[in-house]
Structure 1
Amino acid sequence: MLSKHTEPSPAGFVVLLAGLAMFGPFSIDTIFPMFPDMERALGINAVQMQQTISVYLLAYALMALLHGPLSDALGRRVVILGGVAVFVAASVGCALSTSLWQLLLFRALQGVSAGSGLIVGRAIIRDRFEGASAQRVMSRITMVFGVAPAIAPIIGGLIGTRFGWEAIFWFLALFALTLLACCWRWLPETHPRENRLPLDPLPLFGRYFELLRNPAFVWLALSGAFNFAALFIYIASAPVFVLTHLRLGPTDFGYFFVPAIMGMMSGAWLSGRRAGRHAPASTVKLAYRVMLVAGVVNVAYCALAPSVSWPWAVLPVLVAGAGISLAFPTLTLLLLDLYPHERGTASSLQAFLQLMISSVVAGLLSPWLAPQPVTLALGSVGATVLGWGAWRAYAKRGVGAV
């Protein structure tokens, strides 16, 4: 019950939810600098190593279908606490792995548990906030959340080069354990018993099919998913992009991630500033204009330059990141508002679609696109075009605040 826990301040509540969203990306990005060392230690090649991302994302996506409905039926708090606890155990298992198959198993377990904070956290925001206030809170969390991909590879490089790649997973276990203690102490229950839905698998998956039959839901979900894929193509390809194309070292991943996340934080800040002042459609249109211009400039630079270098190869990613995070809070809130009584379920299906696309990017597209900077740029702008097309399909239906 709420009376047994201390309510955090509004700022503390935002930071707590941002922390819950962070530990998922942390488990992807921290190990990037140590990919070559892990390949040598486990006796595997680069393509096999890339599957540690794909397996994580696939497990994350499949479990995403359950996190939201479980929180609709059991409450938000218990699902988050359980997910973070499992993540602690999975990180310990990764640290102790001595073969690729062991690592893949525990990476999958990390993926199963990591989505609880991000997916259920979105439902918590809509439980407690309405309208422009919800967009502002979502934007602030996006800003704090954006720090994770920037600092994760820097931390991973510092830890891994000094103590070995296994120490990175011990760090993740400690981070999650700290987050678990904070949630136990300060995370309130925002979904009261009288509003909870029965946990029945057949109606649940029936509801998913109903959501997928709603064109507005599908187009918004695809717009957000392709929107993020434009950046995730670079994130999944970061070991090749940073170490090979930019010719930097294992402790230099910040030269890519810091500018990219600065862009994302700027876009999230602007999204919060526009909340209540501009129509949602205006914000999304502006975001896609920014992304498309950045994408075209990126392709032109990569195609014409004899070789790419820092900072010119990273600046278009910075600008695109601003557009991505400018659009994403609005797209997510428009989607959740389609189903005000089933926000957990809607958030789960949105996350599932996004993560399935991200797993395809990591497992199939990234190994194919990463060898050449120009193909990476083309893949990124292609994802932006698909996201823009999905938004246009939604907007033409004349639904929501478009």
Structure 2
Amino acid sequence: MTDQIIDAQADAPARESSSTGGQIAVLAALASVGTLATNILLPSLPQMAVALQVTTPAVTASITIFLAVFALGQLVVGPISDRYGRRSPVLAGFAIFIAGSIWCGLSTDLTSLLIGRAIQAVGACSTSVLSRAIARDLFSGAALARVLTLVMIAQAAAPGFSPLLGGGLDHFFGWRSEFVFVGAFALLSAIAFTAVLGETHNATRIPLNPIAVGMTYGKLSVNRHFLVPAATVGLIMGGLFSMFSAAPRILIEGYGFTPIALGLFFAGTVMVVFGSGMLAARLAPRFGLERAIRYGLLIACLGGIAILTSAYVHANVATFIAATCVFLLGMGVVNPLGTAQALSPFGTHAGAASALLGFWQMTGAAIGVFLVATIVPDALLALGIVLTGGCLLAILLYAMRGKAMTA
């Protein structure tokens, strides 16, 4: 019964047509707004704390509240887009995000900053969740996996390069300039979206009924075609965000990196994710999504085990970076292919499916960040535990999918 939510192939509006560079660029911009707005602030947290007369841990709440609102907001935006289309919610999201950025830039105390960050998150969750729904509107199958892979590469570049960018903006113009930058980025992205994409949801519109929305989420949550790949991606994203949050402590406090060197490390991770995205694009047509995802999970798990081992043997920084690259390689395969596998069967419900998937991703991210900061004082050991445990759990979960599909 739960499989009845899967759309018939004839009803799916997506197509196998080739994507254009402009479409991919706009989708990437939509997907990157949230991560850009979060990671660009990382180098400036101490300066923000001084300006707002609070402690640095207190300012870190601006990251936490953003992720929390971001996760929950997606559950509302998805069904709205299934009823009213993609264009209006995306443009409204950009407008809200820009308003939140202005609010943050003018904040003079922590409370005001947190309010602005919550407003930003409301807008960013709309553009992020609908980037996946729009991709599902336009493409399916291997074409969808290919597009999502390219979008993921660009999305990974945002948290990779944004700390370096944020450090430069802070150095020359102060931390408030970072909010000016992300607001301008959102404005340009909104213009590009209107020019290149516009409305893409041309299938049957789903009535906006809270009870029906809840039932849709409930059916998706117990549907093995959605649940397993979505949970797998959530676990992998938890590992990614835990790595981003732990890296400053590990590299600056543990290995003596400078803030600039840390920014270069984050920028270097983009190259790894780019390579893994190219690998995913080759693996999927050759081996199929199922086997390619399994390979990616195994690679990511090896990276987690290597980081855990390096913590126990007190390995040098080169070993840590190499182990991190292995994890990122596997993550870069699993994330786009798992996303494509979770969304492909749900054309008419693409907005709701994308929203629930985004909720899983951000929930995994929040849990990963929390665990890596609390389970043990040693950041390197904590990261190794989180990555290894999350990857092993993902492997076991995905193995259950294979058994269910063959049963």
1:307-341 residue CA offsets vs partner (Å, 9 max, x unmatched): x53x4322211221111110122211221133232
Are residue 275 (structure 1) and residue 293 (structure 2) matched?
no
In the other structure, the counterpart of 1:262 is 271
For the Cα contact (< 8 Å) 1:240–1:370, is it kept in 2? Answer: no
CA deviations over 1:136-175 (Å, ceiling 9, x no partner): 1111112222211121001000001222111111111111
2:14 paired residue number:
none
Q: Distance between the aligned counterparts of 1:229 and 1:15, measured in 2? A: 25
**Which whole-Å CA distance do the structure 2 matches of 1:354 and 1:278 have between them?**
25
Contact 2:307–2:380 (CA under 8 A) maintained in structure 1: no
CA apart distance, 1:26: 0.4
8 Å Cα contact 2:304/2:327 also seen in 1: yes
Task: Find 1:322's aligned residue among 304, 329, 336.
Answer: 329
| Residue of structure 1 in register with 2:360 after alignment | 353
SS at match of 1:188: coil
Does the 8 A contact of 2:305 with 2:388 survive in 1? yes
More displaced stretch, 381-390 vs 20-29: 381-390
Equivalence for 1:378: 385
Q: What are the equivalent positions in structure 2 for 1:200-219 lying under 5 Å apart?
A: 200-219=209-228
Please list, as runs of the form range in 1=range in 2, the aligned pairs for 1:199-348 lying within 5 A after superposition: 199-305=208-314, 308-309=316-317, 311-348=318-355
Alpha carbons 1:303, 1:374 under 8 Å: kept: yes
Which residue number corresponds to residue 158 of structure 1?
168
Secondary structure of 1:98's aligned partner = coil
User: Does residue 362 in structure 1 map to residue 366 in structure 2?
Assistant: no
Supply the AA of the counterpart residue of 2:67.
L
Partner of 2:13: none
Task: Identify which range, 152-161 or 40-49, moves more after superposition.
Answer: 40-49
In the alignment, the residues of structure 1 paired with residue 137 and residue 333 of structure 2 have an alpha-carbon distance, to the nearest angstrom, of 22
Instruction: Identify the match of residue 185 of structure 1 among 183, 195, 204.
Output: 195
Cα 1:67–1:233 change in 2 (3 A) is same
Correspondence for 1:125 among 120, 135, 139? 135
**Aligned-pair Cα RMSD in Å:** 2.1
Aligned counterparts of 1:146 and 1:245: Cα–Cα separation in 2:
25
TM-score (norm 1): 0.91
CA deviation after TM superposition for structure 1 residue 118, in Å: 2.2
Structure 1 residues 83-138: Cα deviation after superposition (integer angstroms, max 9, x where no partner): 11111111111111111111111111111111222211111112111211111111
Could you tell me whether the CA contact under 8 Å between 1:57 and 1:359 is conserved in 2? Answer: yes
**8 Å contact 1:226–1:383 — kept in the other structure?**
yes
Could you say what secondary structure the match of 1:275 adopts?
Answer: helix
Query: For 1:99, which of 109, 121, 126 is the aligned residue?
Result: 109
Mapped to 2, the partners of 1:364 and 1:100 lie a distance apart of: 25
Q: Which residue of 2 aligns with 1:4?
A: none
Provide the C-alpha distance between the structure 1 equivalents of 2:58 and 2:319, rounded to a whole number of angstroms: 31
- Runs of 4+ aligned residues of structure 1 deviating over 4 Å after TM superposition are 367-371
Instruction: Note the alpha carbon deviations across 1:325-381, whole angstroms, 9 max, x for none.
Output: 101222112211332320110110111122122223334543555743222222222
Deviates more, 1:255-264 or 1:90-99: 255-264
Alignment of 1:8-27 (within 5 A): 10-27=20-37
Q: TM-score, normalised by structure 2?
A: 0.90
CA distance in 2 between counterparts of 1:29 and 1:162 reads: 18
- Give 2:401's aligned residue: 394
User: Aligned partners of 2:257, 2:383: CA distance in 1, in Å?
Assistant: 18
**Cα distance in 1 between the residues matched to 2:331 and 2:340:** 15
Check if 1:76 corresponds to 2:83.
no
What is aligned with 1:142?
A: 152
CA distance in 1, matches of 2:132, 2:150: 12
Q: Percent identity?
A: 28
Indicate which of 125, 129, 136 corresponds to 1:115. Answer: 125
Q: Shift in Å at residue 269 of structure 1?
A: 1.0
The equivalent of 1:3 in structure 2 is none
Extract unaligned runs of 5+ from structure 2.
1-17
CA contact (8 A) 1:65 1:345 kept: yes
Give the match for residue 60 of structure 1: 70
Gaps of 5+ in 1: 1-7
CA distance in 1, matches of 2:303, 2:133: 32
Structure 1 counterpart of 2:293, which letter?
A: V
Distance 1:370 1:107 in 2: 28
User: Does the aligned pair in 2 maintain the 1:120–1:347 contact within 8 Å?
Assistant: yes
Supply the AA of the counterpart residue of 2:25. V
| Deviation for aligned residue 1:21 | 0.9
**Among 152, 176, 182, the residue aligned to 1:172:** 182
* Secondary structure of 1:278 counterpart: helix
Q: What SS is found at the alignment partner of 1:138?
A: helix
Deviations 1:180-233 (A, max 9, x none): 2212222231112x5211112221122112222324422222111001111210
CA 1:372–1:123: 2 relative to 1, 3 Å: closer
Q: Contact 1:260–1:314 at 8 Å: present in 2 too?
A: no
CA distance in 2 between counterparts of 1:218 and 1:352 reads 12
The one-letter code of the counterpart of 2:379 is Q
Give the match's secondary structure for 1:341.
coil
User: In the alignment, is the contact (CA less than 8 A) between 1:47 and 1:367 conserved in 2?
Assistant: no
Deviation of 1:68 (Å) = 1.4
CA distance in 2, matches of 1:69, 1:266: 34
